[in-house]
């Protein structure tokens, strides 16, 4: 196996040549990586310099969910997703709930967290005793770094020492909580943590001939159970028949409740259930230029916070009121990162009327709830395949490079029929044979 060095120093053409010479990609297909370049040179430079070893832009569609009413405010919500039916499902749920009071959302807390992991060979009781003094010195030592954030109402909220020596010898954590305002705050948090690490190593109280701090690592935690939003919808049970007229109200509300209860007790169902929530959440966060890998990792850890992985939504039916609720950790931001750089992220934020981070938490949660409600309501009634079929057919027709006439014939032929790749292929081949 050959190891290549210096790929990052190659020009774009050299990179593509290298790939063509060392993979199954041919010369003409390699040129497709350039087909999605921005027309404007400065804008293109933005993408070229956004990541390392760049070779091209990778388009994913952006669509719009209308009628999203949250706390009586109406939003147009951009979704970036490659998955058919996600936008349609969220739109259907948003429209339905807009007629029944809209989504309600509440920020539960906005604390983010980071840790300095270190070992120390001193006496734990002594550490507990001197920590109040150490804490003051750590806060003083980072005052310059936190100055601007404090002016914006944020900063370091608390510091504590967690003794983990029973799990790993001499291992402690400096646990820090932060408020980062409208920023996701990863850079701010990591900069503070690295300064704490430096200070911990330099304090005489902790470091002398007999004892020494050894820093293992300093990094924010993407587990943010204290940065959370609650979102819910509710309506009289009888109103649910507007969603699906084929089922009686009680039957639909009962089946939705049981489906959500199943996700709360069965991991195989819970993962798929939560994936459906992430369909909406990730699509909004991607449009808003946020790190959806971080929130997704947190969502799944939060789903197993009591030791068992569960669905994140809950349904209650009391006194004929149907209530569907989502409790979601989301550490996100509307400033910093690529939010001010990426032209389409800027557009997406404008489309949502420039939300602050708390509003974006609510919009993302409402989107997740919309997708989850639509999925469950379909699963317990018509099934999801009928909704998926139209987009599925159109994706297959594109794959087969069909023209308008072939597409019209296929749409007519497959109306009400099961769509599969081989059935569509056979149909298009038969059309082409006749011509």
Q: Identify which of residues 358 and 371 has a Cβ nearer to ligand MEV in the complex.
A: 371
Q: Please give the residue whose beta carbon sits closest to ligand MEV in the complex.
A: 276
Q: Identify which of residues 277 and 352 has a Cβ nearer to ligand MEV in the complex.
A: 277
Instruction: Provide, rounded to whole angstroms, the least separation between the CB of residue 378 and ligand MEV.
Output: 8
Q: Identify which of residues 32 and 293 has a Cβ nearer to ligand MEV in the complex.
A: 293
Instruction: Provide, rounded to whole angstroms, the least separation between the CB of residue 85 and ligand MEV.
Output: 7
Q: Which among 118, 110, 113, 358 is positioned nearest to 222, based on CA atoms?
A: 113
Instruction: Provide, rounded to whole angstroms, the least separation between the CB of residue 263 and ligand MEV.
Output: 8
Instruction: Provide, rounded to whole angstroms, the least separation between the CB of residue 214 and ligand MEV.
Output: 46
The torsion angle over the Cα atoms of residues 162, 163, 167 and 169, rounded to 10 degrees, is 130
Q: Which among 242, 124, 184, 205 is positioned nearest to 360, based on CA atoms?
A: 184
Instruction: Provide, rounded to whole angstroms, the least separation between the CB of residue 203 and ligand MEV.
Output: 51
Residues forming contacts to ligand MEV in the complex (CB under 6 A) are 83, 272-273, 275-276, 279, 375-376, 379, 384
Paired tokens of 191: 């900069």
Do 218 and 190 meet the contact criterion of CB atoms below 8 Å apart? yes
Residue count of the chain, please give it.
Answer: 435
Order of strands, edge to edge, in the sheet holding 171-179? Answer: 155-163, 171-179, 112-120, 213-221
Q: Identify which of residues 89 and 189 has a Cβ nearer to ligand MEV in the complex.
A: 89
Do 274 and 303 meet the contact criterion of CB atoms below 8 Å apart? yes
Give the H/E segment covering residue 389. helix 385-399
Order of strands, edge to edge, in the sheet holding 313-318? Answer: 104-110, 227-236, 321-329, 313-318
Q: Identify which of residues 243 and 427 has a Cβ nearer to ligand MEV in the complex.
A: 243
Q: Identify which of residues 113 and 273 has a Cβ nearer to ligand MEV in the complex.
A: 273
Instruction: Provide, rounded to whole angstroms, the least separation between the CB of residue 310 and ligand MEV.
Output: 14
């Amino acid at each position: 196996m050959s190891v290549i060095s210096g790929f990052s120093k190659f020009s774009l053409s050299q990179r593509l040549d290298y790939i063509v010479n060392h993979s199954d990609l041919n010369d003409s297909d390699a040129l497709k990586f350039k087909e999605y370049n921005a027309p404007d040179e400065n804008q293109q430079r933005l993408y070229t310099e956004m990541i390392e070893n760049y070779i091209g832009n990778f388009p994913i569609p952006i669509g719009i969910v209308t009628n999203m009413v949250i706390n009586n405010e109406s939003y147009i919500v951009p979704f970036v997703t490659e998955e058919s039916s996600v936008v349609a499902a969220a739109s259907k749920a948003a429209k339905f709930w807009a007629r029944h009071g809209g989504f309600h959302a509440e920020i539960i807390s906005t604390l983010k967290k980071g840790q300095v992991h270190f070992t120390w060979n001193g006496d734990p009781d002594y550490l507990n005793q001197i920590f109040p003094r150490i804490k003051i010195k750590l806060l003083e030592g980072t005052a310059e770094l936190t100055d601007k954030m404090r002016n914006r109402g944020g900063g370091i909220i608390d510091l504590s020492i967690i003794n983990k020596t029973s799990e790993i010898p001499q291992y402690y954590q400096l646990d820090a909580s932060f408020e980062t305002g409208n920023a996701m705050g990863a850079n701010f948090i990591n900069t503070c943590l690295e300064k704490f690490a430096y200070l911990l190593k330099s304090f005489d109280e902790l470091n002398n001939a007999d004892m020494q701090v050894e820093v293992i690592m300093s990094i924010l935690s993407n587990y943010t159970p204290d940065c959370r939003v609650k979102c819910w919808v509710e309506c009289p049970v009888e109103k649910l028949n507007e969603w699906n007229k084929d089922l009686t109200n009680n039957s639909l509300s009962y089946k939705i409740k049981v489906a959500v209860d199943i996700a709360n007790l069965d991991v195989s169902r819970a993962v798929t259930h939560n994936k459906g929530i992430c369909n909406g959440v990730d699509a909004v966060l991607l449009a808003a230029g946020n790190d959806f890998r971080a929130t997704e990792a947190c969502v799944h850890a939060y789903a197993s916070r009591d030791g068992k992985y569960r669905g994140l939504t809950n349904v209650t039916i009391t006194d004929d009121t149907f209530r569907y609720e989502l409790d979601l950790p989301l550490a996100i931001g509307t400033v910093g990162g690529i939010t001010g750089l990426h032209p389409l992220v800027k557009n997406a934020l404008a489309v949502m009327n420039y939300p602050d981070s708390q509003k974006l938490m609510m919009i993302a949660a409402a989107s997740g709830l919309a997708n989850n409600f639509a999925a469950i309501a379909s699963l317990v009634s018509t099934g999801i395949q009928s909704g998926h079929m139209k987009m599925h057919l159109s994706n297959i027709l594109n794959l087969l490079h069909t023209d308008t006439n072939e597409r019209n014939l296929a749409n007519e032929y497959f109306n009400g029929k099961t769509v599969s790749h081989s059935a569509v292929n056979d149909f298009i081949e038969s059309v082409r044979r006749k011509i």
